[in-house]
Amino acid sequence: MTGLKNISSEYGLILPCDSPFISNEYINNMFKILNEIKSIYTDVDGIVPFHFKKKLENKEKKWKKIKKNDNENDNEKK
């Protein structure tokens, strides 16, 4: 957090080290959303994106199904 005391820009972005595939589009959207929120609420210092667990569980189920189908297709080719 010490680094945040020394930034000269209006905003700072903190990302976890285990998220290497965050796109420029995502980052730009975060700043756009922050600007929109700040235009309504003047006392906002930042935003914290989050996901709903149910959506994540559905994606995990879908991913497992895709992986299962891929494995079945690989076995059929042999």
Closest CA to 47 of 23, 25, 27, 30: 30
Residue 74's pLDDT band (cuts 50, 70, 90)? low
- Judge if pTM exceeds 0.75: no
Residue 4's pLDDT is 77
Which residue would you say has higher pLDDT here, 31 or 58?
31
Return the structure tokens found at 56: 């994540």
Query: Whose structure tokens read 């569980």?
Result: 57
> How high does pLDDT run on average in the chain?
77
CB atoms within 10 A of CB 2: 5
